C-alpha cells in the first residue's frame, strides 16, 4: 500500500526534529517507510530502493532502520522467529499477521485501553500487541 508523497524539505525537517542528520539515503528510506506501510524487512527496503539509488547498500538500510528505531521513528517487529520487520508508527496500534498469506496488518487499539496506565502494579510505558490468525481477505478466498 502506497500513500501520498511527502516533500524532501518536510522529510529533512522531520529527521532534524528527531536528532538525525539528513542524508540522501536516510531521506529516501524515511520516505519509503512513510509511504509504504507494508511492514518491510531490510531486504525488501533495499530491493525496492536499489534501482533508484544504485550506491545503496544493505548495511546502510540496516543501520538507518536501526537508527530510526532508536529515535522512535520506526518500530522493529519480531512477530515470529528471528525475522525483523519495520513499521513507521505515528500512532500506537496492534499488529495482525495472517497465517495464510503472511501479510501484517495494522489494527487500531480500542479507544478505551483495557489495561489503563498500570497493570498488576506495573507502570505501562509502551505495548507491543501481536495478533495471529486468518485475515478477512484470505477468509473470503476460502468460501
Query: Which pLDDT belongs to residue 118?
Result: 76
Q: Are residues 48 and 38 in contact, defined by beta-carbon separation less than 8 angstroms?
A: no
C-alpha R_g of the chain: 17
Q: How many domains does the chain have?
A: 2
pTM, two decimal places: 0.78
Q: Are residues 71 and 16 in the same domain?
A: yes
Quick: pLDDT tens for 53-96.
Answer: 999 999 999 999 999 999 999 989 887 778 899 999 777 788 88
| Domain region containing 113 | 91-141
Kind and range of the H or E element at 27? helix 24-35
Report whether pLDDT(2) > 60: no
Q: Are residues 128 and 67 in the same domain?
A: no
Domain limit, last residue, from 24, 52, 77: 77
Amino acid at each position: 500500500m502506497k500513500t501520498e508523497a511527502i516533500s524532501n524539505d518536510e522529510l529533512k525537517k522531520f529527521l532534524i526534529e528527531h536528532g538525525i542528520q539528513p542524508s540522501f539515503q536516510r531521506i529516501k528510506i524515511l520516505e519509503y517507510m512513510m509511504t509504504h506501510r507494508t511492514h518491510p524487512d531490510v531486504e525488501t527496503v533495499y530491493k525496492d530502493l536499489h534501482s533508484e539509488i544504485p550506491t545503496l547498500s544493505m548495511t546502510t538500510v540496516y543501520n538507518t532502520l536501526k537508527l530510526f528505531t532508536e529515535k522512535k521513528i520506526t518500530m522493529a517487529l519480531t512477530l515470529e522467529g528471528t525475522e525483523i520487520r519495520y513499521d513507521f508508527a505515528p500512532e500506537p496500534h496492534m499488529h495482525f499477521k495472517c497465517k495464510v498469506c503472511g501479510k501484517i496488518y495494522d489494527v487500531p487499539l480500542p479507544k478505551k485501553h483495557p489495561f489503563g496506565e498500570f497493570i498488576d502494579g506495573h507502570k505501562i510505558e509502551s505495548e507491543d500487541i501481536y495478533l495471529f490468525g486468518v485475515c478477512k481477505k484470505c477468509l473470503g478466498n476460502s468460501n
